[in-house]
Structure 1
Amino acid sequence: MGWRATVVAAVLAIGSALSTGPAGAEPFPVPYNLFVQDEFTNPGGSAAGSNDWSCRPTPEHPNPVVLVHGTGANRLNMWTTFAPLLANEGYCVFALTFGNYADQPYPVSAIGGMARAEDSAAQIGDFVDEVLAATGAARVDILGISQGSVVPNYFVKYLGGAAKVDKYVSLGPAWNGSALTGPDGGATILGLGTDDARGVLPFCQACLQFLPASQFIAKLHAGGLYAPGVTYTNIMTRYDELILPYTSGYVEAPNATNIVVQDGCPSDFSDHLALAASRVAAGHVLNALDPAHPRPVPCVFVAPFVGG
């Protein structure tokens, strides 16, 4: 076994050891491990604890939580940790697959975040309306990761979402885009445009829109990034290998809180994806969604790629 395989095996073993809590302690098992997946046994399904359309919010948690995945992910494979965790906490939890080619056969139909960001934002807005109508709630909270940390804000700012969203929590946010290299994120070097990928990357029409010099990123910042009346929390990791630099998600404002997980927990080695299965990130998320009842955020070892 080569050294790379040895390192990967060790990371997986540690992640597995940290993956779950006591058996039977909660209605839904919460795997803190991204490799615990139901995608192939439940294709097109929803993560445990999510999309129960009979759920009614409680006075303790009056806002349903809408989960918004990242590029190439979907409503199931990105949320196998947070959907059951939030449901166990008493939230009504809903998740959609957006920006996918729904008319294509599986598994192509399960690859989300491909459409242009403006179209995905409208799709997210329609889903929020469905959640509000089904639950009777006045507003929702958003929990997004990666592309899903940014696109809903277009709905908030430009498609009437400011009156429908209360708390907006982002994991690995890309508010200023993600740079490949150079001031425009590598678009000039690669000979690509900075916004319209339809002629260059037709399968992923959103991809170039998250370069720092894109028109989409500029429009998000026009008149101020954040919408008044919405409370934002940005949760970042120094080891983010997809949002470059990781401080792309660090934007100050009176209605925004910026958190770098290593500031409070040096043993957290989350990379970008591991934020979706991290006990440390989960502690910050729970406090952001329920700031009236803060709890200590755990500090544990979190493995890159896996979580913990």
Structure 2
Amino acid sequence: MPLGARFKPRGVFEDDWSARPSSEKPWPIILIHGTVDTKGVWQELGTELRADGWCVFAPDYGKRGTAAMEESAVQLGAYIEAVRTITGAEQVILIGHSQGGLLARYWMRTSGQARYVKHLVSLGAPNHGTTMGGILSPLVTNNLTENIMHSLIQHWFGPVGFQQITGSEIFAVFNNGADDRDGDGNSDDSSGTNTHGSGELEDGVDYTCIASRQDTVVQPPETCFLNGPAHQVRNVWVQDIIPRANVQHQDLPMNKHVRAIIRTGLKKGANEENLKHKT
């Protein structure tokens, strides 16, 4: 197991498979942890969301989020299907920290099941890649240092580490056109029926991307944001709402200010949806 995954988990969060969504909040929320973390990181947010009346679940996946994204996406997909089957919900809301947000996007793009997602909230997700705190750019100047960095990232983060680096081939899957599953720039839909979105987004899915200007892991932090129309994508700096908030990358899922931003946004979205159905 990679070194980063051997640390003691942060917090404890347990699923309640007897929970059912309400008519006012009909979408179960699935919380997706990041690399070398566990679902315990959602202890505070998960408890608060349940108190707000949401039906909340959280998986552990991919050897504490260190397995290759292709492997973790299969596990995430099975978990989402289990939640939908047991709760009877048509759609879910996904909230992902770091790789968790990226993994949600990868699963939606490659599985063709984005229609089951109402809203994706990402916290510090490296949507366009990261230099792992900027260490790669200045240090990788020749083959020797490149090999050292590769070994370091592999041993600490596992196979998924390099998949999140700026320029990784996997970003062609996320950020190219619709149905370009292999990232070659050509459509992979031989049937001619497009069930995916285009560019960085999936059709019918709303996005909220939350980032902190103090993030020293995803560099530069603005790469957390997605490109898309304002009615579908909301890009949020924590410091634009709480100017004095000092939030590091690893603290995004647990920080009280970030938790408040998430809860307020979800409440507003649910209220707007309910109002829409009443008129």
Same fold (TM over 0.5): yes
Q: Show the counterpart of 1:99.
A: 62
1:240 aligns with 2:215: yes
1:138 aligns with 2:90: yes
Query: What amino acid is aligned across from residue 93 of structure 1 in structure 2?
Result: V
Give 3-state SS (helix, strand or coil) of 2:235's partner. strand
Note if contact 1:170-1:233 (Cα within 8 Å) is conserved in structure 2. Answer: yes
Give deviations 1:249-292, integer Å, cap 9, x for gaps. 12221211000010121121111122222222122212332334
Q: Show the counterpart of 2:38.
A: 74
Change (3 A) 1:175 1:59: same
Note if contact 1:171-1:235 (Cα within 8 Å) is conserved in structure 2. Answer: yes
Q: Show the counterpart of 1:51.
A: 15
**Deviation of the 1:184 alpha carbon:** 6.8
Return the alpha-carbon distance in structure 1 between the equivalents of residues 24 and 141 of structure 2.
50
Change (3 A) 1:244 1:202: closer
Return the alpha-carbon distance in structure 2 between the equivalents of residues 202 and 183 of structure 1.
15
Could you state the TM-score of these two structures normalised by the residue count of structure 2?
Answer: 0.77
Query: What amino acid is aligned across from residue 277 of structure 1 in structure 2?
Result: M
Quote the RMSD (CA, aligned, Å).
2.9
Give deviations 1:149-207, integer Å, cap 9, x for gaps. 1111111111123111111001112101111448979666542599x98x954970100
Q: Show the counterpart of 1:279.
A: 256
Change (3 A) 1:53 1:201: same
Give 3-state SS (helix, strand or coil) of 2:57's partner. strand
Return the alpha-carbon distance in structure 2 between the equivalents of residues 185 and 89 of structure 1.
46
Return the alpha-carbon distance in structure 2 between the equivalents of residues 246 and 287 of structure 1.
23
Return the alpha-carbon distance in structure 2 between the equivalents of residues 231 and 292 of structure 1.
10
Query: What amino acid is aligned across from residue 146 of structure 1 in structure 2?
Result: S
Q: Show the counterpart of 2:170.
A: 216
**Deviation of the 1:119 alpha carbon:** 1.2
Note if contact 2:124-2:209 (Cα within 8 Å) is conserved in structure 1. Answer: yes
Query: What amino acid is aligned across from residue 26 of structure 2 in structure 1?
Result: P
Between the two proteins, the alignment pairs up a number of residues equal to 239
Q: Any stretches of 5+ residues in structure 2 without a counterpart?
A: 1-7, 178-198, 272-279
1:128 aligns with 2:80: yes
Give 3-state SS (helix, strand or coil) of 1:176's partner. coil
Return the alpha-carbon distance in structure 1 between the equivalents of residues 237 and 56 of structure 2.
25
Percent identical pairs in the alignment equals 29
1:179 aligns with 2:143: no
Give 3-state SS (helix, strand or coil) of 1:149's partner. helix
Could you state the TM-score of these two structures normalised by the residue count of structure 1?
Answer: 0.70
